Structures are given as C-alpha cells and as structure tokens.
C-alpha cells in the first residue's frame, strides 16, 4: 500500500527529518549491475573470493582485477546518474526538513546527481587507502599489488576504499542517530539481505516511530517490515514519490 497523501501532508507540515537507504537497484537503470539479480555480480563471482579481507590476503591479484573492472565500468562515459538519483538530490534541496541519504553503493552516482548530505556506508570505488599509512585518496586508475603508495612509497598495502564482508560499515553512529530521529524512512533498490542496512527499517520504526516506505522492483527480503511499499523500476517510482512528497 503506498503512503497516503494525508500522511505526506503531515510529514511536510512537520518538516519531518527523512532518512533514505539506497542499494544497487537504484543504479541498475544507469547501466551498473546489481548483486543478487540473475545477471548480478554474485552470479559471476563468489563473495569469499573477492570481497573479504581474507581474499585480499590470499589472492590480491583477483581482488584488484575485480575492482579494476568495476572501476573502469563506472568510469565509462555512458554511465550517468538517472532520474531516481536526480530526484533524491532535488528532495534534499526542496524538502523543508533534514534529508540524509545513506547508500550501500560504492558508485558515485548520487554525488554526481547533486546529493550532498550523503553517507557511503560501504565505501567508495573511486577512492583507495593504504594499509601501511593513513593515505585515503581519490583514485581512477587500475591498482595492482605492485603499485607503490603515493604517500609512504610501500607496495602491497593499497586497497580499494570499500567495506568488505566482515568489516564494519562506515559512519554508523551518524546513521543510527538520524534513524532514531526521523519521521520518514525510505528504502530504495535494495534486496534487504545485508546487515546492518537491512535492519535500518526496524530502528526507524521502533526508535523513531517513523513511517517506513519500500520502493523496489520487487518485494525485498524484509518487505513485510515496511508500512508502505510500491514496486516497479526506480526511475519511475522515485521521481513520482519525490513529486508527491514535495507538492504543497
């Protein structure tokens, strides 16, 4: 059941804080693969081979190859923010209250669309960091285990600035503080399989009494946890939902 217009009016009048969680589905129509759809990334690779700290120790060449391919795909000029990314940027600008966008995506499409109050909880593909020193920097090239750190000069320590399975997502204190204070929580384009993100809906519901909305191509694993839901492609659902929120 979609969020009713009278509830939207109340949220707008109260300038209710909004927290939005996005996943790979929002970038699908920009041309990037999701993870768990039939043509998704985890149909071709095992998580344990490319997305864990152990994988980086045991087979750094494969891990670098995996992220080099994804980095090159993201930098393809055909990959651009879509109408859903743009609509969320517009919501941040025009909504009377705070809007925090938390993405699980490591692409940069929300930022390119103009979202500013943005947390990349799983890191960013276009950044690297060094295990030997405190370097954290933008990076658009391929990376190899022989690549020397531009700061400390050592090889073997550079890694993508992404959160692997078994590692702690980023900025969780800020995210939980916002969830505990929001009036509306929206989850867009995520299958609800990966925690802690999959548990945000319960935090928003139980701690803040927020209205909770799922916008996704199909019901997610946690679909029954949401008060309201609409199913379809993000480029149609998200602009329509943002229009409904903003219309006075």
Q: Where on the chain is the footprint of ligand APR (CB under 6 A)?
A: 23-25, 28-29, 34-37, 40, 104, 122, 189-191, 193-194, 216-218, 220, 233-234
CB of 107 to ligand APR, least distance (A): 10
The token duo for 244 is 């409904």
Burial per residue of 206-225, b for 16 or more beta-carbon CB atoms within 10 angstroms, e otherwise: eebebbbbbbbbeebebeeb
Which residue, among 35, 36, 25, has the nearest Cα to 216 in the 3D structure?
A: 25
Comparing every residue's Cβ against ligand APR, the nearest one is: 25
Handedness of CA 162, 168, 174, 178 (dihedral sign): positive
Q: Which is nearer to ligand APR, 16 or 89 (CB)?
A: 89
109 annotated ligand binder: no
Nearer to ligand APR, 142 or 231 (CB): 231
3-state secondary structure 172-209: HHHHHHHHCCCCEEEEECCCCCCCCHHHHHHHHHHHHC
Residue 114 marked ligand-binding: no
122 noted as active-site residue: yes
Candidates 248, 238, 233; CA nearest to 20 is 238
To ligand APR, the closest distance from the beta carbon of 148 in angstroms equals: 28
In the complex, what is the shortest distance from the CB of residue 66 to ligand APR, in angstroms, rounded to a whole number? 12
Which stretches does DSSP call E strand in 45-183?
99-103, 118-120, 123-130, 136-138, 158-162
Q: State yes or no: 139 annotated in a binding site.
A: no
30 is in an annotated binding site: yes
Q: Which of 64, 120, 122, 161 is catalytic?
A: 122
Q: Is 189 annotated as a binding residue?
A: yes
**Complex with ligand APR: residue 158 or 220, whichever CB lies closer:** 220
H or E segment and range at residue 135: none
Report the catalytic residues: 122
Please give the annotated binding residues, written as ranges: 23-42, 67, 70, 104-107, 130, 133, 149, 152, 189-191, 216-218, 234
């Amino acid at each position: 059941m979609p969020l009713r217009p009278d509830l939207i009016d109340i949220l707008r009048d109260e300038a209710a804080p909004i927290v939005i969680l996005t996943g790979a589905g929002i970038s699908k129509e920009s041309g990037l693969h999701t993870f768990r759809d039939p043509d998704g990334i985890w149909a071709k690779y095992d998580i344990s081979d490319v997305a864990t700290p152990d994988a980086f120790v045991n087979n750094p060449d494969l891990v670098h190859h995996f992220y080099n391919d994804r980095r090159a795909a993201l930098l393809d000029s055909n990959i651009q923010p879509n109408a859903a990314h743009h609509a969320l940027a517009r919501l941040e600008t025009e909504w009377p209250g705070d809007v925090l966008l938390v993405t699980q995506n490591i692409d940069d499409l929300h930022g390119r669309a103009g979202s500013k109050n943005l947390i990349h909880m799983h890191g960013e593909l276009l950044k690297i960091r060094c295990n030997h020193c405190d370097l954290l920097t933008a990076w658009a090239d391929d990376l190899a285990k022989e690549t020397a750190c531009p700061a400390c000069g050592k090889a073997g320590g550079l890694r993508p600035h992404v959160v692997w399975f078994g590692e702690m997502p980023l900025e969780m204190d800020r995210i939980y503080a916002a969830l505990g204070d929001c009036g509306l929580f929206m989850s867009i384009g995520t299958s609800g399989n990966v925690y802690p993100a999959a548990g945000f809906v319960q935090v928003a519901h139980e701690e803040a009494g927020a209205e909770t909305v799922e916008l996704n191509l199909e019901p997610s694993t946690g679909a029954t946890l949401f008060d309201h839901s609409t199913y379809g492609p993000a480029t149609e659902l998200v602009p329509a939902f943002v229009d409904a929120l903003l219309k006075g």
